[in-house]
Structures are given as structure tokens and as C-alpha cells.
Chain A
Amino acid sequence: MITIEKWSTRFGALAQGFIVSTNRCQNPDHFSQYLQWCATPDMQQGRSFTYVAVEYKDDGTPLAIAGFVSARANAFVDNDRRCGDPAIEITELAVAAPYTRQGIGLALTGKILELGVKLAREYIGVRFAVLRATNEARGFYENKALGFRSADETFEAVPGLEGNQGCVPMYLRLAVEEITPQCSSEDEEA
């Protein structure tokens, strides 16, 4: 059984065994190192928040980390209008080699999109989901179920901007105004 839950130091012993495929990633060691050394302090210091997909044995003890995703607050800035909108940014996403092609990356990304919707509905404004993908990962985020698009498809590049070099800036607007009235549940009744 695999569940998605908040990162916790109780999963720390499993982080060393987190290995991504070298065919699908330019820097596979980064992700194991991130879990071992960065996930906890980043959460403690408010830099990012990590969710892990954990496989459990039948007796309920954690067996392995199948994947993880990290996110933080950012801004989607329209340089032409000098105007920004609040955004949730996916900063890390990885699936361990034995767990690829099982929909875990999709579910982890969806976890953050749903978190963005929930934040916007109940706590604080969020209008976009953004990320900077590697070229290899671009197709994954363009998956029909997610619908991210590269920013260069709809916006002209900002002259002299270096932050997006070496990666593909991608974005998606969260249609909170559509989702809220049609999918309201227990919160409206409270």
C-alpha cells in the first residue's frame, strides 16, 4: 500500500535508499540528498513543504519512499503589466526507480495542485501553480491530466532575465472560481 503524507523524520532512514533512474534525471543523487539533508530544515524554516509517497508493509511499517514532492509560495509576475499574482511553486518532484510509470508522479503533482485549490478556497489567495522543469520532464507536466504549459507558449521572454535559463518555466492557472461552487462540500455547511 502506498500513501501520500507529510514528510517526517521518521522516514529519514529510508531516504538513503531513494534512488531515481539515471535515464530520467541529470543529477539523480540530488533527490536522495535533498531528502536526507534539506527536507526537514526546509520545512522547519518555512522554505518549502515536502510530501512523500510511502510504501508500507502489511504490518504497517514503512518499507520505502516511492516518491516525493516539495512546494513553496511564489509569485507569478507579469513583467509587462508590472503586476503579480500569488502562486504555489513545485520545487522538487522525484519518483524512485522501482516506482516509475505507476502514476505516483502524477498523484504527487496533483497533491500540490489540490493543496493550491484548498488554500485558495479556505486560507489564502493562490491563482497559479508554477514550476521550472528540466527538458526531460517537460512532457510529463504537459500530461493531459495536469495541463501545465511552458510559459514561452503564451508569453514573450523577458529580455535579460536569467532565472529561467537552463530550465523550462511552466505554469497553470488554478480555476478556483469554477471549482469552488461546483465542488463545495463540508466547508459551506459549517
Chain B
Amino acid sequence: MAANTCTMPFIVGKRKPNTEEPVYDVKRHLVMQELLRKYEPKPKKDKK
């Protein structure tokens, strides 16, 4: 699962006709928020 570490700006050429743009939409956003809740740090309990 490794992304490369190139330092170039992300440059694309001419848009191909009749192609659909990938979108991180509301549906994905809500699913991801639910997933991320599992990994939220829990507040530390105060020691008395």
C-alpha cells in the first residue's frame, strides 16, 4: 500500500471526452466518518 514520494506537481493533459470524474461524495464522506470514529483517541480519565 505504498504511495511514491515524487515531489512534482500533479499535472494532467487534455480531458478525455465522455469520461466520469472520480468524486469523494457525501456517501463516501459519511461512510468514512463512521469508520474513523473507531480510531478516535479516547479521552484520558483523570486520576484522582
With known contacts A93-B3, A132-B3, A153–B29 Cβ distance under 8 A: no
Question: Which residue from B11, B22, B30, B33 sits with its C-beta under 8 Å from A148?
Answer: B22
Question: Which residue from A25, A103, A155, A171 sits with its C-beta under 8 Å from B2?
Answer: A25
Q: How far is the CB of A82 from chain B (nearest CB, A)?
A: 11
Contact indicator B15/A154 (Cβ below 8 Å): yes
The yes or no answer to B46 lying at the interface (CB within 8 A) is: no
The number of chain B residues touching the other chain, given as a range, is: 35 or more
Contact indicator A117/B4 (Cβ below 8 Å): no
Q: How many residues of A contact B (CB 8 A)?
A: 78
CB contacts (< 8 Å) of B42 on chain A: these are 1, 3
Question: Which residue from B4, B35, B39 sits with its C-beta under 8 Å from A134?
Answer: B4
The yes or no answer to A15 lying at the interface (CB within 8 A) is: no
Kindly report which residue of chain A lies nearest to residue B15, judged by CB atoms. A155
State in angstroms the CA–CA spacing of A30 and B42 once bound together: 31
Q: How far is the CB of A152 from chain B (nearest CB, A)?
A: 9
Q: How far is the CB of B19 from chain A (nearest CB, A)?
A: 4
Question: Which residue from A53, A161, A175 sits with its C-beta under 8 Å from B24?
Answer: A175
Q: Mark A147-158, 1 if CB is under 8 A from B, else 0.
A: 111010111111
Residues of A19-61 at the interface with B, using a CB-CB cut-off of 8 Å, are 20, 24-27, 30-31, 53, 60
CB contacts (< 8 Å) of B36 on chain A: these are 4, 107, 110-111, 114
With known contacts A3-B39, A183-B30, A90–B24 Cβ distance under 8 A: no
Contact indicator B13/A80 (Cβ below 8 Å): yes
State in angstroms the CA–CA spacing of A40 and B46 once bound together: 29
The yes or no answer to A131 lying at the interface (CB within 8 A) is: yes
CB contacts (< 8 Å) of A5 on chain B: these are 41
The yes or no answer to A119 lying at the interface (CB within 8 A) is: no
With known contacts A92-B5, A93-B1, A134-B3, A163–B11 Cβ distance under 8 A: yes
Contact indicator A134/B26 (Cβ below 8 Å): no
